[in-house]
């Protein structure tokens, strides 16, 4: 896939039957490679069948809780960056330990490229309003 995005997928369960499916979406080109792909559970599509599969909007994956968005605080020199990354639901529990101390992938035109992850923030969820 040419351009600024890679077609990536996560493996998750859907519905009451609990069948395992691949959910495809777009992500920043070159971000989910190597250790970042392993730690987050997000894999870049390479097979022709995967490239032809339809995309699922990220907001739908977030709503269904198959995908979670987390923020990481990364530093490069004396600057601090907050970067939002997507993590497969199965990988959320161990993401903090796996990703702290790693280096963000180097992507042309992105200021936080090469920054070292210092901490992971999981977003607060609203469970009810009173």
For residue 54, the 8-state DSSP code is P
pLDDT recorded at residue 1: 42
| CA nearest neighbour of 23 among 58, 52, 70, 56 | 56
CB contact at 8 A, 51 and 25: no
Q: Read off the pTM.
A: 0.80
Q: pLDDT tens-digit profile of 77-96?
A: 999 999 999 999 888 888 88
Q: pLDDT tens-digit profile of 60-79?
A: 998 888 899 999 999 999 99
Q: pLDDT tens-digit profile of 28-64?
A: 999 998 889 999 999 999 999 899 999 999 999 988 8
């Amino acid at each position: 896939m040419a351009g600024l995005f890679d077609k990536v997928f996560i493996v998750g369960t859907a519905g009451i039957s609990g069948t395992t499916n691949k959910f495809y979406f777009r992500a920043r080109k070159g971000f989910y490679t190597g250790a970042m792909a392993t730690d987050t559970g997000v894999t870049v599509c390479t097979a022709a069948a995967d490239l032809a599969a339809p995309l699922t909007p990220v907001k739908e994956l977030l709503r269904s809780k198959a995908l979670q968005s987390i923020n990481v605080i990364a530093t490069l020199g004396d600057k601090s960056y907050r970067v939002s990354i997507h993590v497969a639901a199965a990988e959320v529990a161990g993401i903090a330990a796996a990703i702290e101390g790693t280096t963000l992938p180097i992507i042309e035109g992105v200021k936080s490229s090469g920054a070292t992850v210092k901490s992971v923030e999981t977003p607060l969820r609203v469970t009810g309003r009173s």
